[in-house]
Structure 1
Amino acid sequence: MPSFDCLGFTGIKWIFIHFSLSKDTNCSEIILIQEIVKDGFHRDLLVRVKLGTNVEKSQTCNVLIKYHLPMGLYVDPYELASLQEHNVTEAMIIQDTVDLEAPDYLSEEFDVFVYAKSDSQCSDCFRTILPIHCRYHQPEEKEEKAFVVVKNPELLVSCYNDFPSLNCWKQSETEAPCSVRNKRICQWNNMKYKSVNQNVMLQVPVGLRVHCLLVCVMTLLITVLCSGLILRAVFKHGHFSL
């Protein structure tokens, strides 16, 4: 199978599979690749989509990726606003508020719309980057790690014209905002696609219950020490007037 090194994913090559449905040779499969980069609690979710159409046809299409994030993850709306301002990522959280401080067991699942952009390195490809953050988990008895699974997203495509290659994989029609800036509702086609790596699993560091007492005592001592140093500096260098 030919590979698509121009997509630039580390260690991952595009898999481009051609096959026919009912003798229709125009039905080239839609490919989706997702990859997690960075370590710790702050990650980036990289997504690329290959529509399998020629460049002229793909330029008339818009691609929307709908993620259903589990309780162990969240997206920072303030970070998204900054990325949108700098034309890096266009995404919309389908929830009124997001508690950035809530731990895993007190948070809720929610949906995110991510609008992909044309990939300059590939003629019929779209790409996007979604920054995601891991929530703190309850301490465990033995394991020092927990796993959070990001399920495969829904792929929504809207084109100005109908193409045989896309009609092959159309599952249903759904409504969603046209874009982040244009909140008007548009009609999108929910597409079936080939996922190169099924779901994405993140490993999150977790504390041990046996360390709870030590952590609490050390936190209290450090708090008292720092408070004392601050008060000392205030009385030594501060100017007071009655």
Structure 2
Amino acid sequence: MAGGLRGAEAVRAGLAAFFCAFHVQAVCQDTTVTQELLKEGFHRDLLVKVELGVVGEDTGGCAVAARTRLPPGIYVDPHELASLQQQNLTKAVLVPNITDVEAPEYLATDLLVLLYMEPDPRCSCCFRAALPVHGRYHRPAEDSEEASIVLKSPEVLVCCCDNHLSAECWKSAEVEAPCSGKNIGPCQWYSIRHKPTYEELVLQIPVGLKQHSSLVCVVTLLATVLCSSLILAAVCKYGHFSLVTCSE
């Protein structure tokens, strides 16, 4: 008899755990994150779109951001970003906030970006933001004329100053950045608990070939000598020279 009671209790506990897990999965739907590279060449725009999949969660008055780590092959120009932020075209926090824009790929480091997102008027739970990114110069390659830079899908963060998000769907995140919600004071950032389907975005950067190094050096030297000669000839022909004597 006691064994039967213990078996029934185990069945009830199992059913309770099952329905609890089913309820959490039903409430906490996956968040959709998509990335797209606009324009061509070394200077691109990274467009990030987020669709929150939390059912019945009130995100009014909350700030949504995408935290992504850019590999050494690309960078964000802090001066360009500051200019865009003055025009209210974008808002982001760079870590570190000082970036060597002239460094090649093999001397650069990763860059952490917290990109604040704006609501998308076409969807009540959708947000989007664009960030200008630039490709760095790479070492010459052996046989490929392009270098591949992999951009991983960003982490979705939410900062709510007026309300709280359900602990079932969100977890606290350590983010040292201000919240762009209604209140000026500090508030807690949250990261989505159920990860979306991460897809990698690949950026192709043109690179030179090592077998062309000698040709490039010769052409560069000849072009430098030719341009220098033309400048010197123009100065000698059209320049005005005068002797200046110094007197006490």
Shorter-chain TM band: 0.7 to 0.9
The one-letter amino acid paired with 1:41 is F
Greater percentage in strand:
1
SS in 2 for 1:105: helix
How far apart are the structure 1 equivalents of 2:97 and 2:63?
25
Let me know the Cα RMSD of the aligned residues: 2.7
What is residue 173 of structure 1 aligned with on the other side? 173
Q: 8 Å contact 1:177–1:184 — kept in the other structure? A: no
> Could you say which residue in structure 2 is the equivalent of 1:43?
44
TM-score by length of 1: 0.80
Task: Map Cα deviations across residues 88-139 of structure 1 (whole Å, 9 max, x no partner).
Answer: 1111211142111111111111211111111222222111001111111111
- Quote the sequence identity (%): 46
Pair member with larger Rg: 2
Unaligned runs of 5+ in 2: 1-19, 244-248
Matched with 1:6 is none
Distance 1:185 1:206, change over 3 A: farther
* Deviation of the 1:189 alpha carbon: 0.5
What aligned pairs does 1:45-84 form with structure 2 within 5 A after superposition? 45-52=46-53, 57-84=58-85
Please tell me whether residue 162 in structure 1 is matched to residue 160 in structure 2: no
Range that drifts further, 170-179 or 222-231: 170-179
Q: 1:107-126, aligned counterparts within 5 Å?
A: 107-126=108-127
Give the corresponding residue for 1:139: 140
Residues in 2 aligned to 1:170 and 1:41: alpha-carbon distance in whole angstroms: 37
Higher percent of residues as helix: 2
Specify the code of the residue in structure 2 equivalent to 1:48. K
Match of 2:211 in 1: 210
* CA distance in structure 1 between the partners assigned to 2:104 and 2:218 by the alignment: 21
Please, what TM-score do these two structures have when normalized by structure 2? 0.78
Instruction: State the AA in 1 paired with 2:168.
Output: C
Runs (5+) with no aligned partner, structure 1: 1-19
Number of equivalences: 220
Q: Distance in 1 between matches of 2:150 and 2:226?
A: 41
